[in-house]
Structure 1
Amino acid sequence: MLSFRIEGGHRLKGDIIPQGAKNEALQIVCAVLLTPEPVTIHNIPDIRDVNKLIELLGDMGVVVEKLSSSSYRFTAKDIDLNYLESDAYRLKGSALRGSIMVLGPLLARFGKSRIPKPGGDKIGRRRLDTHFLGFEKLGAKFNYDPQNGFYNIDASNLQGCYMLLDEASVTGTANILMAAVLSKGTTTIYHAACEPYIQQLCKMLNRMGAKISGIGSNLLTIEGVDYLKGTEHTMLPDMIEIGSFIGMAAMTQSEITIKNAGVEHLGIIPETFRRLGIRLDIKGDDIYIPAQEHYEIDTFIDGSIMTVSDHPWPGFTPDLLSIVLVTAVQAKGTVLIHQKMFESRLFFVDKLIEMGSQIILCDPHRATVIGLNRAIPLRGIRMTSPDIRAGVSLLIAAMSAKGVSIIDNAEQIDRGYQQIDTRLRNLGAVIERIDGSK
């Protein structure tokens, strides 16, 4: 078991460049299955979830060429559909949540696919209904085998249609979109997700020859085409990592510049952290966070306690609520964190309370943070990372705490953050990887 050992209380200083966007990578990498021609992708993050997905594509017959540390060329000319019947595919696919994203491209290009029930974070129920209902409206037929946990899908005659999604799911929208681009006729997706990652996927598919309109809105229209060609694509910086660095700078009283942050794609994220009292200056495409001794949480106009909650884009992303929560721990003031989407994502606050935070977990979806305003330092403890975002939140708490903390199950953090210990050490953090079983 991998663990991080963190000596808290050290201020950071310097520049850091965010990795490529994890959530974009999981759909963009799968889109290479839509064409037999080469597709070159740049700024791919070197993280566990993406690396496992690339490995899975290689096992399926995709020729994978690593051009540099963050650039790959994929050629999906000869796909071995028999691999989908193997035990190896069942084991790898079920361990990786991103494996669900191969469905849309395989259905579009080959008319059939199968997939084991995917894995991923243990943050509560993460249903796949949006994906499957969308495929069914396009004409796919499903058969779930409870004996081996496989979904078998026949999509030999996909037809464009109108659909109203039951939720604005990012992965659901991406998967349906990739199935629709090679379907016959016109598909209209209403209540579609419109995150920058979906916009990136749409633009990439259009360069490949797809006909998608309405990009950036929640109403997408796709005119099916017969063939997609190869292309070249560069992924956005990871907005979740950028938000994590903003919160980390505030909690550790550090002076950090986030370089090449893709500011125009961050939406409401910078303003949300400003409402926590964090000063940040946007200089071109960089974000400068000065060292702050104190920061004060804003209130609503009538003086009531501010609430930060998650919403579909362009609202605040649920992936940053854990970061906002931990950042508020040492602020002046009180904030209510409302995590609407996942019912288990706030359960890590028990560790923050053990470290000395003042947090009331109201129910599985809401927590009230009463800021300490640095009157009391957090204390280092041993804890376990339950998921990617909670893991980084605990890491931020540990870096601001007095004493030494151990974070077990640090593999969860590696799933979403590229070489995080090395990059933070370059800023002055005292963090090392250890064998947590000893």
Structure 2
Amino acid sequence: MHTLEQLRSGALAGTRRLDLSCGLSELPEEVFALADTLEVLNLSGNHLRELPHLLTRLHKLQVLFASDNDFEVLPEVLGDCPALHMVGFKANRIADVPAAALPPALRWLTLTDNAIGHLPAELGQRPALQKLMLSGNRLQALPDSLQQAHRLELLRISANRLSEVPAWLTELPRLSWLALAGNDMGWDCTAGPEMPSIAWSDLTHGPLLGEGASGHIYQVQARGWPQPLALKLFKGEVTSDGLPEDEMAACLAAGQHPALTTPVARLKGHPAQAQGLLMPLIPSAHVNLAGPPSLQSCTRDVYPSGFNLSAVLALRIARDVAGAVAHLHQFGVMHGDLYAHNILIDPLHGQARLGDFGAATLLPTEQPDLRQRLLALEVRALGCLLEELGAASLAHADSPAVQAMQNLAQACLTDQPHQRPSVMAVAQALQAIEGF
């Protein structure tokens, strides 16, 4: 994080990224001295209510973050910034999104946790739009113009006031990662089985293992359990993916599968009434298959430089993940975030486990056609993963396993969702590959 003193002294001359979180109520004039170099401006965590018209002087500005401020209207000056393609105004008080505020090059828009009840039709007229995050608002409908958003790949509309899924939504050719839980659509969903409870007082707490959008994960030892467990303690607030209670419902409905990280017990008796789930502790040898998308990659995960896999390991990972997703689909759960960064693997043996149900949606049992059309979107996410596994094993491109994964990836990635195979069919095809 930078300081005002650094900015005013000229110490930041030539910088491409500026991070200022220091109680600002207006944009410092010294920012405009960076006009010839500044590409990323992060103003999150201030008290800003508006942005000056002079913002257009930042002619190289590509990314603007202004989360956790006091905006009530998305500033119209954003629409006059020709290079701006990523806009993030999470957790403000925005109720109005003027059409003029949408930059022409808009690729990634985050408006999570605001008070938006309506979006302008012009949103569908941004041809580069690829990632749209709208969870935690007051939307009763999406603009029909979004059916023109043929490059849209990730959509978060959980925790709004939608009453139905627009028919065009399941026809979007590239939509792969969708979260829509927490809307009152009147769906009849299959509830998960009852789970045992473990009292907070029966836990011995170990180290913090990690933190996600919806909660913290700790290592714990529960009285009466022979092995350590992982406790996910929910923050209890809306995240970019949705609400904690929807994540918990999806976890419980998913049930058990060897390649899924699903709970074995609920937490009860937390002193602050926090909710939590207890899950098997993943062996420390497991690592994330990839890192999350970057500002540049937008919707695709980032793998380490030089990352490669043997054909055997790639196929094992593909089989495990496809089997896990087929299990979810059988139980009416759309994962919503089927990404390599949510997959833990044993790098020696290839065993994979899919976790993080923050974007998961329980689908209706009484509308089989809608359920099938929504699940077909997630097939494309699996196709992206198979494509990445194939790319990581190109050193073995002549292997039948690699060739088969590449062929399956292409079938999953077709722009016609109804022509994609089911995940169950993909899982069976992967299992049928001989010699591995």
TM-score of the two chains, using structure 1 as the length reference:
0.32
Higher strand proportion = 1
TM-score of the two chains, using structure 2 as the length reference:
0.32
Which one has more relative contact order, counting CA pairs under 8 Å at least 6 apart? 1
